[in-house]
Structure 1
Amino acid sequence: MHFPAAEPRKSLYYNYQVFPHYHGAASETADDQTVTVVGAGPIGMTAALLLAKQGVKVILLSAELQLSEGSRALVYTKRSMEILQAAGAAERIMAKALPWTHGNSIYKGQIAFRMASPVSEHDQFAPLNNLQQNWLEHFLLEEIQQQPNIEMRWGNKVVDHEQTHDQVTLTIETPEGAYQHTSKWVVAADGGRSPIRERMKLRMEGASYEGRFVIADIRIKLDYPTERLAYFSPDWNPGNTILMHREPDSIWRFDYQLDPAVSPEEALLPENLHKAVNDQLKMIGKDHLAWEMDWSTVYSARALTLDNYVHNRIIFAGDAAHLLPIFGVRGANTGFQDAQDLAWKLAAVVKGWAPEKLLESYSCDRVGAAREIIAEAGKSTRFMAPPTEGYRLLRNAVLSLSLAHEFVRPLYHWRTSRPHAYTHSPLNSQHDDNAQMNELTENGALIPNVKFADGSFLYDAISGKFTVLALTEQGQLPASLHAEIAALKKQGIPVQLVALALDGVTADGADRTAAIAPDVAAERFFAQAGAIYLVRPGHHINGRWINYRENAITQTFQQFLQAAEGAAA
């Protein structure tokens, strides 16, 4: 039997609720339209919500009886907030989160480099947003509780599984004993130590770094703005790094690097935690302030990924699929992108309008993203926590030179996480004008968001559906385009036609018309009247045309629908 902690976790700022456990019949089989998600952290919850909003039923399993402890994933990018908006939780999250735009790298008491994240009037969210993971999960859970398509099961720990060609049977332990649950599809979002991944003996590729960091969440009144503070080689921790982040509820997070000779167990002793915090406060001249410890842990920097996320009917997402360094806020933020890409593709397969082969593109697209992040994050990690004496010498040279030479200072840049462009996705159109159009809106890239005159945003209008964006004048749309969209809808494909009217004239036959100024169209899309964009349900461009060509959009869909038609025949 499985006995998760039944006493509420202790926190200085969050009141934990213990939920009643679920126990099923000795054996049960979910219907073919149900997906089972293992792991109710941020990625599992988000995947469940995005699937539910695609009309898929979800059973969401949590081994615990309560939400996660401590700040954990803390900084959420603009892209993550756009995904959480599609999941239905962003408004609640942003009512609590602390947005920010700047990060400071400090050496010898001087700001050696100040990072500024770009902002635009068309941004729906700030570039970076701080919120403790328990609060994030709280708001996701509130949305889950409003979704009739999601069944939340607390205290359900998957201890074994058996997979055949068309289903997975999970053995689930609860406080009342075990039961077996069979599902057509299982999403493994069960974390960095994924028991499902371990049972399958799947190996990750990449690099692990020796550097270990302590996270210490403390409650203290500091009069600093919400900006990242990175102190390099502070006097009390020479050769190492400490990061400081402001959190809601007067909580501050200290991430400080451990000396290799200090074990995690030793580092987490109360007297050692208190000494480190007091030393940092003394260095910044705030040691006169009272503070309380809320939560602490130790983590290591790793840059690893599976080479395939789809294993028949078990699909991996988030930390179960990859382990990425937190420098540049890449962990959970990458997982949210997994959840978004997986949700619409798995929904397409479950609902029957696309073949199972479509899921191969999830693995292709997201493994490619993880590998790109690993290459980029490795640079940040080697600077923040040098893995060898050679890298340490290089880092120390940069630190010393930066005090007097401005050209060196950009080397401090922590290369913030950015959305991956699916440039090499097998879904990208082979029947379009991609090669003739501006590379900033190439196939696989995110379609730029647009804030309309009424305050609404393009992403809210196109989330969760394939969208044909047509730039129009005088309400003109090709008649054959209407016919194409209607035929695709008859196949069960969630597709819509949205006209972006450069002159504000409503386009007959469009599912929606939004007015957009010609200069905004030129600036955001590098396009004029007549241009067409096909956009995936997750906001990435799937094809683009300077002018509409009959049947080109249908041909693009055929690239991944032909297998389904062949099977039906």
Structure 2
Amino acid sequence: MNSRKILYQFGYRRSADQDRPSPTRHPVTVVGAGPVGLCTAIDLAQRGVPVVLLDDADRIGEGSRGICYAKRTLEILDRLGVAETCLEKGVTWKVGKVYQRNELLYAFDLLPEDGHKMPAFINLQQYYLEHALVARAAELPNLDIRWRNKVTGLKQGNDGVTLTIETPEGLYDLDADWLVAADGARSALRGMLELAFQGEVFEDRFLIADVRMKGDFPPERWFWFDPPFHDGRSALLHKQPDDVWRIDLQLGPDADAKAEQAPERVIPRIRQMLGHDAFALEWVSVYTFQCRRLERFVHGRVVFAGDAAHQVSPFGARGANSGIQDGENLAWKLALVIEGEAPKSLINTYELERSVAADENISHSTRSTDFIAPRSAQELRFRDATLALARHAPFAKRMVNSGRLSMPSTYETPLSTPDGDAWSGSARLGAPLPDAPMRNSSGQPIWLLEALGGEETLIHVPNGAAAPAGKRVLVIGDDLIDVEGLFAQRFDTTPGSTYLVRPDQHLAARWRHATRLLVERASRRLRGFEGGHA
């Protein structure tokens, strides 16, 4: 069922490539105009890389689908120019509550400290995010979105790919140096390369219902084990914009997916949960899910991202959030390779880093699923014993797994501190930098991540000597002023401390006392040159 069929529709238009006698060659073609494909294409275009984005549809709005976007995703969206639009429309939240029956087991705060531009999470229907991204893409002159362009053929060579594309006006071919496959869980490109997923398929079925109603529930994540309105199963409640509420109900592996979507089955379930019938169904779906991924994400000049590369359960909001992080990891690397500033082998680090991230997400997702929907008597006994203990024992609360919520990935880095000094604070090697409120050299407020943007940057704390040379250097006290002391606290600064930040705002290296040679080697290693680390 879907009462909201189309929110935004885009017209097909003929491209110049269709009138040329031989295929036009493009630096990058992205297939799939969902959040992952759009973010990747925008990121590349902002870095000066011309991009063609193909999608076989011409519309947005067939169901709300993904709704939860984490702080790191919002920071990426901010750099891409759409976070403000999303924050204005979205529902901001940071508190989650876990119940058994009607009893509150525990509550958690996902962002207990101040001094960050972005909140812990927002809830926003996926079609609103996609519309904001499409509008942003339209502002970029080197990003060409082609709706109703369906890839029907793929041939790969040593230095690129040739795509056959079906349109309402017939077929045409297109050449690309690189192809980003972001065409979702049913990826046609994955099928064309005859690539198979590895992992686990779960049989339990879950009902999603988006319900329009006026409600007094706060903007929090509420999860129930064995609630009185849905005996023996689990339930989840989230607030969305437009007085819409997301309700997830576990149905069990034997549920009839088609029958369970019928209003005469859905409405009584929702009425029993809410205790009234003053609501209207917006969208209903029944799903099962998989925790699987491709063995490799990079196949010659074809790079897979998002659901085309890996799939997880929806518990923990790991799907879209991890996919958007895929795009961020890939975009700066592709841009450097295309610009001749990095070897082609740099793309292999995308596969290495995002494969590890996918494994981590799949592991968390699988454990959450096993706890929420036990598949054996032993798993059920463990779950019930944990819930019983959690009422009284703090250690057991940490074992309750209602979906470990999406966290940003931390990448292993060989660029460790050469002098062996210990570092405190929340900044960690390989992780995205924690944000902090600053002032620029003109005294205007600016956030640290805003100042960094998407460039490789050295951040230096002066100690009387000249700052180390780098591609771009920001000096604390000159270029950025730490008015509240939060940068010093989070980065454990001392005079002379220097931090090398990757173009995706992950911390690549740090030194108490950097030298030109240390910085140069770390920068080269960051860009994929062998033997670059100090």
Question: What is the TM-score when the length of structure 2 is the normalising length?
Answer: 0.92
8 Å CA contact 2:163–2:175 kept in 1: the answer is: yes
Q: Aligned partners of 1:278, 1:541: CA distance in 2, in Å?
A: 49
Q: Match of 2:458? A: 468
Question: What is the deviation of 1:205?
Answer: 2.5
The within-5 A match list for 1:359-438 is: 359-403=347-391, 407-413=395-401, 414-423=403-412, 425=413, 428-429=414-415, 432-433=418-419, 436-438=422-424
Q: Which moved more, 1:540-549 or 1:257-266?
A: 257-266
Indicate yes or no: 2:145 matched with 1:152.
yes
Gap runs ≥5 in structure 2 = none
Cα shift readout 1:459-511 (whole Å, capped 9, x = no counterpart) = 1111210001101256x524xx34xx3xxxxxxxxx3111112xxxx3xxxxx
* C-alpha displacement of 1:517: 5.1
Report the equivalent of 1:323.
311
Aligned residue for 2:4, secondary structure, equals coil
The answer on 1:85 being equivalent to 2:75 is no
Partner residue of 1:177 out of 170, 194, 204: 170
8 Å Cα contact 1:29/1:183 also seen in 2: no
- The Cα of 1:369 is off from its aligned counterpart by 0.9
**Equivalent-residue separation in structure 2 for 1:254 and 1:340 (angstroms):** 31
Mapped partners of 2:61, 2:355: distance in 1: 27
Q: Of residues 423, 429, 447 in structure 2, which corresponds to 1:443?
A: 429
For residues 112 and 61 of structure 2, the distance between their equivalents in structure 1, rounded to whole angstroms, comes to 32
- In 2, the alpha carbon distance for the partners of 1:434 and 1:360 equals 29
Q: Which amino acid aligns with 1:443?
A: L
Q: 1:175, 1:276 → 2: CA distance? A: 43
Matches of 1:439 and 1:20, distance apart in 2: 51
Q: Which residue of 2 aligns with 1:336?
A: 324
Listed as ranges, the matches of 1:197-216 within 5 Å are 197-216=190-209
Question: 1:221/1:57 Cα in 2 relative to 1: closer, same or farther (>3 Å)?
Answer: same
Instruction: Determine if contact 1:122/1:451 at 8 Å carries over to the other structure.
Output: yes
Q: Which secondary structure state, in structure 1, belongs to the residue aligned with residue 326 of structure 2?
A: helix
Partner Cα separation in structure 1 for residue 199 and residue 445 of structure 2: 44
TM-aligned CA deviation for residue 431 of structure 1: 7.8
Matches within 5 A, 1:344-359: 344-359=332-347
Deviates further, 444-453 or 139-148: 444-453
**Partners in 2 of 1:433 and 1:360 — Cα distance?**
29
1:254-311 CA distances to partner (integer Å, 9 max, x unpaired)? 11111222121121122212222222223xxxx1x42111112222232222232111
1:485-524 to structure 2, matched below 5 A, reads 485=470, 495-501=471-477, 506=478, 513-516=479-482, 519-524=485-490
Partner residue, 2:109: 116
2:8 matches 1:19 = no
| 1:411 partner SS | coil
Paired amino acid for 2:274: L
Question: In the alignment, is the contact (CA less than 8 A) between 1:21 and 1:175 conserved in 2?
Answer: no
The answer on whether the counterparts of 1:169 and 1:180 sit within 8 Å (CA) in structure 2 is yes
Q: Deviations over 1:311-333 (max 9, x none)?
A: 11100111111101221111101
**Residue among 499, 502, 524 paired with 1:558:** 524
Tell me, in whole angstroms, the C-alpha distance in 2 between the residues paired with 1:349 and 1:19. 33
AA aligned to 2:80 is A
Aligned length: 524
Q: Distance in 2 between matches of 1:200 and 1:178?
A: 20
CA contact (8 A) 2:438 2:483 kept: no
Question: CA distance change for structure 1 residues 29 and 87 in 2, over 3 Å: closer, same or farther?
Answer: farther
Are residues 175 and 31 of structure 1, via their aligned partners in 2, closer, same or farther at CA, if it must alter by over 3 Å?
closer
Query: 1:538-553 counterparts in 2 under 5 A?
Result: 538-553=504-519
Return closer, same or farther for 1:201/1:553 CA change in 2, 3 Å cut-off: same
Secondary structure of the corresponding residue to residue 315 of structure 2: coil
- Note the 1:240-389 alignment, pairs <5 A: 240-282=233-275, 287=276, 289-389=277-377
Distance in structure 1 (CA, Å) of the matches to 2:426 and 2:435: 13
Conserved? CA contact 2:205–2:255, under 8 Å? no
Q: What is the alpha-carbon distance in structure 2 between the residues aligned to residue 238 and residue 17 of structure 1?
A: 42
Q: Is the 8 A contact 1:434 1:545 kept in 2?
A: no
Q: Measure the CA separation in 1 of the matches of 2:289 and 2:390.
A: 25
Which of 212, 220, 234 does residue 219 from structure 1 map onto? 212
Asked if residue 73 in structure 1 is aligned to residue 66 in structure 2, the reply is yes
Describe the SS at the equivalent of 1:356: coil
Q: Deviations over 1:416-450 (max 9, x none)?
A: 21111102x4xx43684466544854431222211
Q: 1:545 to 1:563 in 2, by over 3 A?
A: closer
